[in-house]
Amino acid sequence: MNAHLEEAERAAEDGGPRAYREELQQRPVKAEKPDYVTVTHGMRGYFAVHLTWSDELGGFYEPEQTGMGSYRRPDHPVLLTEAQQWANVLGVEFRR
């Protein structure tokens, strides 16, 4: 296992993602627009992002939080593993 994933697991043991997941679970759920994790591209390269639905301005998905790593390719195995595991921890769908 690489250091990046080990750090994420340590954070999970400290209650970091668990506390965040509990916060998400307490929010009102909009079945028609569920949260999800995906991979996107920005100035820092390719990275995972958790998107949530906002009803403002007619409705749109906005980034809630971004992943820890930045990668050169959208199909980088560590990036995909990070995004999939993050979605599992949050209890949301991973969309590629």
What pLDDT is recorded for position 80?
96
Helices (H) and strands (E) in the chain, counts: 3, 4
pTM: 0.67
Asked if 83 and 64 count as a contact pair (C-beta separation under 8 A), the reply is no
Indicate the SS3 state at residue 93: strand
- Residue-number span of the structural domain to which 13 is assigned: 3-94
Per-residue tokens: 85: 């595991």
Band of residue 79 on the pLDDT scale cut at 50, 70, 90: very high
What pLDDT is recorded for position 27?
65
Q: Burial, 86: exposed, middle or buried (Cβ in 10 Å; 0-12, 13-18, 19+)?
A: buried
Number of compact structural domains in the chain: 1
**Is residue 14 scored above 90 in pLDDT?**
no
Which H/E stretch holds residue 81? helix 77-90
Q: How do residues 24-76 score in pLDDT, each as one tens digit? A: 666 665 546 899 999 999 999 999 999 999 888 888 999 999 999 999 999 99
